[in-house]
Amino acid sequence: MRIGILGCGALGLLWGARMLKAGHETVLITRTEKQKETLLQQGLIFTSLTKEKEQIPAQVESIKQISRQASFDVVFVTVKQTNLPEAIPVIQMITHPASQILFWQNGLGHEQQIERLQSRPWTYAAVTTEGAWKKGMNEVQHTGAGETQVGLFPRTGRDSHIHFRSFLHDLTHIPNRAAFSIQYEPHIRKRMWEKLLVNCVINPLTGLYEVKNGELLSGKYTSIMEQILKEALAVASSQGMVFAYAEMMAKIRSVCERTADNYSSLLQDLQKGVPTEIEFINGVVVKTGRQAHVDTPVNRRLVELIRAKEARKMATSFETEDGMV
């Protein structure tokens, strides 16, 4: 079984390391030539939860140079939501009708992009609570254990492909795989909403105040966390996704505890001066709430504030790269 990892950020490098260590024929597909060359020359540097570091030789192609003859049986799509539109034609090119395609994006809204694929019926959404930190172009550290659930998406109501069940079986029988858990979830859309609720609270606050996840447990942010969650829960309920407030808040606090030293992906994007996924997280709550006549003033304000901060950071990044400062 031939595996492609499309997108070599933290999550892509984490799963790339796992697939390579397990002996699967795996190709890492990078966005830039520079990252490709770094991975080829220096290998993939992986640091486990127990701080053990190893260098893993990797087969690498860039997204611009990937051969039209490439044909992967399984593709992990780990690019950000903001980069998904440009990735869809590549996915179409490097897959075949029986390919099993796993989408790992944060938030909601990417079904419109997935539906652009032609004759590619076996698409899945993956929801994970694991933590990973991309320390460099070719280096990743596993920073938090968690669970991963995968289910057919956006087309539901049928069983997964026999090849996917075989692949999932292989994953769950990798030797020494105690550091991760992955399982099939037939109700993946509800799990996606659950992850969205967590991200709605953690991502914008850590991005806005530039703090690590664990800082949200200091007590300073309790009131705003509660307001964000209550609005998001009302919107989720309007879509038939009902969650208990106390249970969700406990889950959010648990994620903050387990990833206390992590910088959220949204904060990392702001620090890099690149577009964030705010439109696919709190933005989805605002948009869906508007359609369902559920008011979301706190989430709406957060979207506005992150958009403004994003624009400032991107402008500064552009000026620096352009030699203006």
84 and 213 share one domain? no
Per the rule left: phi > 0, alpha: psi between -120 and 50, beta: everything else, 273 is left
274 and 137 share one domain? no
The domain boundary, picked from 156, 186, 216, lies at 186
91 and 206 share one domain? no
Q: Provide the pLDDT confidence category of residue 322 given band limits of 50, 70 and 90.
A: very low
20 is written with which tokens? Answer: 């390579």
Average pLDDT over residues 174-188: 77
Q: What pLDDT was estimated at residue 320?
A: 45
On the question of pLDDT at 165 being above 90, the answer is: no
168 and 128 share one domain? yes
* CB atoms closer than 10 angstroms to residue 240: 9
The domain boundary, picked from 169, 186, 203, lies at 186
11 and 154 share one domain? yes
Q: Provide the pLDDT confidence category of residue 177 given band limits of 50, 70 and 90.
A: low
pLDDT one-digit tens code per residue, 224-241: 999 999 999 999 999 999
Q: What is the CATH number of the domain that holds 253?
A: 1.10.1040.10
pLDDT one-digit tens code per residue, 48-79: 989 999 999 999 999 988 876 779 999 999 99
Q: What pLDDT was estimated at residue 179?
A: 62
Q: Provide the pLDDT confidence category of residue 324 given band limits of 50, 70 and 90.
A: very low
Whole domain around residue 44: which residue ranges?
A: 2-186
pLDDT one-digit tens code per residue, 190-220: 999 999 999 999 999 999 999 999 999 999 9
84 and 166 share one domain? yes
Evaluate whether 27 touches 4 at the Cβ level (below 8 Å). Answer: yes
Q: What pLDDT was estimated at residue 133?
A: 87
Q: What pLDDT was estimated at residue 323?
A: 41
Evaluate whether 280 touches 107 at the Cβ level (below 8 Å). Answer: yes
118 and 240 share one domain? no
Q: What pLDDT was estimated at residue 169?
A: 81
pLDDT one-digit tens code per residue, 253-307: 999 998 888 889 999 999 999 999 999 999 999 999 999 999 999 999 999 999 9
Q: What is the CATH number of the domain that holds 73?
A: 3.40.50.720
212 is written with which tokens? Answer: 């690590």
| Total number of domains constituting the chain | 2
pLDDT one-digit tens code per residue, 22-52: 889 999 999 999 999 999 999 999 999 899 9
Rounded mean pLDDT of the chain? 91
**Would the pTM of this model clear 0.85, i.e. be above it?**
yes
Query: Rounded to an integer, what distance in angstroms lies between the CA atom of residue 168 and that of residue 183?
Result: 7
Evaluate whether 74 touches 2 at the Cβ level (below 8 Å). Answer: yes
225 and 307 share one domain? yes
Residues comprising the chain, all counted: 325
177 and 196 share one domain? no
The domain boundary, picked from 137, 169, 186, lies at 186
Dihedral over alpha carbons 221, 227, 228, 231 (to 10 degrees)? 170
Q: Is 73 helix (H, G, I), strand (E, B) or coil?
A: strand
